[in-house]
Structures are given as C-alpha cells and as structure tokens.
Amino acid sequence: MELLEVLHSLTSVTLLGAVLFLLVLFFFSRSRNLEQRKEPPGPRPLPLIGNLLQLDFMKPHITLWELSKKFGHVFTVYLGPKKVVVLAGYKTVKQALVNNAEEFGERELIQITKSSGGHGILFANGESWKEMRRFALTTLRDFGMGKKISEEKIIEECQNLMEVFQQYKGQLQEELSSVIGSRQVRVEDRKNLPYTDAVIHEIQRLANILPMSLPHTTSQDITFQGYFINKDGKFVKRDAFMPFSAGRRACVGESLARMELFLFFTTLLQHYRFTPPPGVTEDELDLTPTLGLTLNPSLHQLCAHSRDSIEGLI
Ligand code: HEM
C-alpha cells in the first residue's frame, strides 16, 4: 500500500515536472521562433476567444485601423482561435497585392463561404478560380463592359429611374449645367467634369463600402516587411483610394461599376438636388452605415427637389 502511494506521488511529481518542462520548452521555442522568424506583433490574445473582446463588431475596420496605429502596418489579431494578419495602409497593401501578387493572391475560405462550398469566383482558388475569372472577364467584355453598349444600357436604367422623379436644378449641378446642359451625360464627359468626378471619388472614399476588402490567404510562407507570415491568411485594411483593391484578385467589375457610378450620379444630380427631409438638419443626419460584408447606408429619408422645385420624398 505504502509502495503504491509512493509510486502514485512519484508519478504525479513526474507528470507535473513533465508538463512544466513542456511548457517551458513551448515558451522557449516560441520566443526563439518569434525572434528567428519575427512574426507580426499584435494585441495579446486570450485562449480560444483570441482578440474578439477587443474588436468592435459594429465597426471592426475602425478597431483594426486603431490597432494599426499601435502595432504598425503589419500586425496579427486572433479572431477566436483563427490567426489573421492585417495589412494596413496603402503602401503596405499595394506592396503585398501588387509586388507580391503570387504569394498574397489566394482567397481565404471563411465560414460563411463554406456554405457555398467555396465554389464561386469570390472564394475559389487555384485552377477553378483562374478559369472562372477568365470566364467572368470574357463574358463581361462580350457584354461590352467599359464600352459603348454598357453605357447605353446604364443610360437606359438612368432614364427609367428619372421617371420615378421629376426635374430640377441645385448647387453641384452648376458644373453639370454649364458643361452638359440638359442633354444626357456620356462617359466621355467625365474629363470635362473634374468637380463632379472628384465628388464621386470622395463619396466612394467616405462610403468605403468594402472596408476590409475580402480576406486573402498567402499561397506560401513569405517574409514581408521584415515579418514572417505563414499561410494562415489575413484581412486587408485599405487607406488610400483603392476601393476595388489591386493585384490578381482585384475587382473584375471595376470599369462597369465606375461607369455606373458616374452615369447614375451625374444624371441624378443633373435633375435633382438632395436634402434631408423637412425639419432635419444636415448635422442631424445619421450617416452611420450598416455593416454586412459591405457597408450599406442605413434606411433614411431624403428629399429630391426637382428642377421645377417640386418636392418629392423618396
Ligand atoms: C462600387 C462597386 C464595387 C466595389 C467598390 C467593388 C470592390 C471589390 C473589392 C474590394 C473586391 C476584393 C478584391 C480583393 O480581394 O483584393 C472585389 C472583388 C470582386 N468584384 Fe467587385 N466591386 C464593385 C462592383 C463589382 C461589380 C459591378 C462586379 C461584377 C460585374 C464585381 C465583381 C467582383 C468579383 C467577381 C470579385 C472577385 C474577384 C476575384 O476574387 O478574383 N464587383 N470587388
């Protein structure tokens, strides 16, 4: 009996010793690993939940931007147990997506995308992505993306939209009135409408509709800006004007989207002035967006004043 107790306590001591030894070994090798490979820094994660408590889920892109001020342009956050390397700032994002396009050009399969089996172009990788991207670009080109034919279609849509409203004149429209008058705006007019074009860019910058772009994953281990990044993937946080991203996964609909933005915006502003509803000042307008995969405007009322000053509530 005594022998058994001695053996038992010896086993416990040995076991405890072994666990301690392994822990020391783990932390020692981890810190040596970190030193040798210099992984991107980041806020200290908690077991299992990682840094989730530090992220504001209503505006995660803002939290990540704040963290980048403390940890630099390349840093790590743990979304639960999932390690994510965040790239912040135009130069860093461009260096990764354009200069290291191969290594950073894979898409990360996140949970919501797994339901679709990861088969759509957005979340595919490898040969199937290449094929789908080639197909998407060819099809969009065949439909005349960026060409006259899509311009005609967009103009038709604008005119349908116009039927919902009536005609008017307002402030930003001075440029439109003097350059275009009452004729239909065409894409080629863009170069003669610098103010209007600048306003569209500013709106896109402010609206920031895909604030964290889409998650990428690295296709191979890479040392980037002095930091070792393994194949775990990352979110991209953009700073400079890159709403369509850059590199091999950049938006395939960019020229179509730019055409639509320009024609819809100019045609609407050519005919309407938009204000808050009666009794609401501009300062009182709540511009907080609703977060989904994209940032969307929250539901709100707006007045469209027609050129004839007929008011309509949209
Ligand atoms: C203002 C409108 C739009 C914005 C701001 C936008 C932005 C973006 C961004 C940021 C990405 C991620 C790029 C990356 O992962 O690095 C993307 C991907 C993509 N966009 Fe757009 N997009 C717009 C409109 C469109 C339109 C109209 C189409 C289709 C005609 C389209 C099709 C795609 C596709 C297929 C991808 C995935 C490309 C790939 O993974 O290879 N987008 N877009």
> 127 alpha carbon to ligand 1 midpoint, in Å?
19
Residue 290 zone, left/alpha/beta (φ > 0; ψ -120 to 50; rest): beta
Over residues 94-115, mean pLDDT: 79
What is the rounded (10 degree) CA torsion for 89, 91, 93, 97?
Answer: 170
pLDDT in the model for residue 2:
52
| Ligand 1 lined by 207 (C-beta under 6 Å) | no
Q: Is the CB of 118 under 6 A from ligand 1?
A: no
pTM of this prediction?
Answer: 0.70
Mean pLDDT across the chain: 76
Task: Give the pLDDT of residue 272.
Answer: 82
Rounded to 5 degrees, φ, ψ at 78 are: -110, 115
Strands (E), the chain: 74-79, 82-88, 106-107, 216-217, 222-224, 227-229, 234-237, 272-275, 290-291, 295-296, 303-306, 311-313
For the Cβ of 243 lying below 6 angstroms from any atom of ligand 1, the answer is yes
Say yes or no: CB of residue 238 within 6 Å of ligand 1: no
Mutate to test the pocket of ligand 1, among 251, 263, 265 (most ligand atoms within 8 A of CB): 251
pLDDT value of position 314: 40
Which residue is closest in CA terms to ligand 1's atom 41? Answer: 249
Predicted confidence at residue 111, as pLDDT, reads 59
Q: Is 144 helix (H, G, I), strand (E, B) or coil?
A: coil
At 196, is the secondary structure helix, strand, or coil?
helix
Atom of ligand 1 nearest to the CA of 132: 41
Query: How far is the centre of ligand 1, averaged over its atoms, from the C-alpha of 254 (Å)?
Result: 7
CA distance 212 to 91: 16
Question: 122: which DSSP letter?
Answer: G
DSSP for 278-314, please give it: TT--TTT---PPEESSSEEPPS---EEEEBT--EEE-
Q: Are 84 and 217 in contact (CB under 8 A)?
A: no
The partner residues of 236 in beta bridges, in order of sequence, read: 87
Binding residues for heme: 251
Does the Cβ of 199 fall within 6 Å of ligand 1?
no
Q: In this predicted model, what pLDDT tens digit does every residue of 174-196 receive, in sequence order?
A: 888 888 888 888 888 887 888 78
**What tens digit of pLDDT does each residue of 261-290 get?**
888 888 888 888 888 888 888 888 887 888
